[in-house]
């Protein structure tokens, strides 16, 4: 990224001089790198500020672009708030002033949605199905290929929030039948504030309308001067993640299992939240019996973890994901969400086990 802050500081849309050409070349290289991560064509990748913007552009745009066909959307109760809040806004008529009906499907105790439930929810006026690839809190991998096949057979647009999955597990937009797919660079070790949206240039969302206008950047879908250093960083992070994915998954999966086994051995009443498989290799979410959740987190302030989604930690409400899999408010608040990273070591895991066991023991006493 560094040269694009200094020597190659041009605007990627400036076609009249070498500074602009250098910036444009950096953007197009990154577009190819991101496309390769998800099995897409570079021309179908649109850069955004991250998955939140990508989700808004995809969901609201798909509904607006198909307003003559219908106003029904199918999603899942455990989706990220960047999806659920858009759906709520659509229901309230805050997009084009037209009311949209949203079906939110339940999940089982492991956090998985049944493709048969998706099939049953599809109607003649359904214009979009939006299901995340991997849950951001409990890490379970949804059966998106089966859901994508159902949507494709019915001619319904299929959006996948892949923010958590990209760079962690293999993704191929053709294999899963995605028409739209959202990414955030910082989820695969890239810079914050940049991401991408894959838009299939054929099928039900071929004419996806933009959310804002002015300049026609990114093939008219996302106007605004491009964040060239961020985009370059996003592309390089995608390339590194694609090459390191298999090794990362093996290493982090073993560390995650060591963490869970160590916690259950050291502490009575520790339970896994969400299905053990299929699950992201770096994710662990557990609940601890007989402790106050707030006191537990306060006692673990030296560890980087949370009780729910990082974007919702300011809320006093228990996690909607944990509630959806059947946990009580008390159990949801006494849950711990771990995200292991490429630099996590065995020593880190063992130290965390010791700290958590000590805090839980003190609270119970």
Annotated active-site positions, please? 311
β-pair type (195-199, 45-48): antiparallel
Distance in angstroms (rounded) separating the CA atoms of residues 132 and 336? 21
Distance in angstroms (rounded) separating the CA atoms of residues 166 and 179? 16
| Contact present, 227 and 48 (Cβ < 8 Å) | no
What is the DSSP track for 60-120?
HHHHHHTTTT--EEEEETTS-HHHHHHHHHHHTT-STT---EEEEE---TTSPPPHHHHHH
Tokens of 284: 């662990």
Distance in angstroms (rounded) separating the CA atoms of residues 109 and 86? 25
Q: How many CA atoms lie within 13 A of 216 on its CB side?
A: 0
Distance in angstroms (rounded) separating the CA atoms of residues 325 and 290? 20
Distances, alpha carbon 234 to alpha carbons 164, 207, 220, 246, in Å: 15, 26, 21, 19
Sheet holding 101-105, edge to edge: 45-48, 195-199, 180-184, 157-161, 126-130, 72-76, 101-105
Q: Where are the beta strands (DSSP E) in the chain?
A: 45-48, 72-76, 101-105, 126-130, 157-161, 180-184, 195-199, 270-272, 283-288, 335-339
Distances, alpha carbon 35 to alpha carbons 38, 142, 235, in Å: 6, 22, 9
């Amino acid at each position: 990224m560094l040269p694009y802050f200094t020597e190659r500081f041009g605007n990627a849309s400036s076609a009249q001089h070498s500074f602009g050409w250098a910036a444009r070349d950096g953007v197009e290289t990154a577009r190819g790198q991101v496309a390769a991560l998800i099995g897409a064509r570079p021309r179908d990748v649109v850069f955004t500020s991250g998955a939140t913007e990508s989700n808004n552009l995809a969901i609201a745009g798909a509904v607006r672009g198909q307003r003559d066909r219908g106003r029904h959307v199918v999603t899942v109760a455990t989706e990220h708030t960047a999806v659920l809040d858009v759906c709520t806004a659509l229901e309230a008529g805050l997009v084009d002033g037209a009311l949209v009906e949203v079906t939110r499907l339940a999940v089982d105790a492991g956090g998985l949605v049944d493709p048969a439930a998706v099939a049953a929810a599809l109607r003649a006026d359904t214009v979009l199905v939006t299901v995340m690839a991997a849950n951001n809190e409990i890490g379970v991998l949804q059966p998106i290929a089966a859901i994508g096949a159902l949507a494709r057979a019915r001619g319904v647009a299929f959006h996948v929030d892949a923010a958590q999955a990209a760079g962690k597990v293999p993704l191929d937009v053709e294999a899963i039948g995605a028409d739209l797919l959202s990414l955030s660079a910082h989820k695969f070790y890239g810079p914050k504030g940049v991401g991408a949206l894959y838009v299939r240039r054929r099928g039900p969302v071929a004419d996806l309308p933009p959310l804002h206008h002015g300049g026609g950047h990114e093939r008219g879908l996302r106007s605004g001067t491009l964040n060239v250093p961020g985009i370059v960083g996003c592309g390089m992070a995608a390339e590194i993640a694609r090459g390191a994915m298999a090794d990362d998954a093996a290493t982090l999966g073993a560390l995650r299992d060591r963490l869970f086994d160590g916690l259950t051995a050291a502490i009575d009443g520790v339970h896994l939240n969400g299905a053990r498989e299929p699950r992201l290799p770096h994710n662990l979410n557990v609940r601890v019996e007989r402790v106050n959740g707030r006191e537990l987190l306060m006692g673990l302030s030296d560890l980087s973890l949370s009780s729910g989604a990082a974007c919702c930690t300011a809320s006093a409400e228990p996690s909607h994901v944990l509630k959806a899999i059947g946990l009580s408010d008390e159990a949801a608040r006494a849950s711990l969400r771990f995200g292991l990273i490429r630099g996590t070591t065995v020593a880190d895991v063992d130290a965390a086990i010791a700290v958590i066991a000590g805090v839980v023991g003190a609270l119970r006493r």
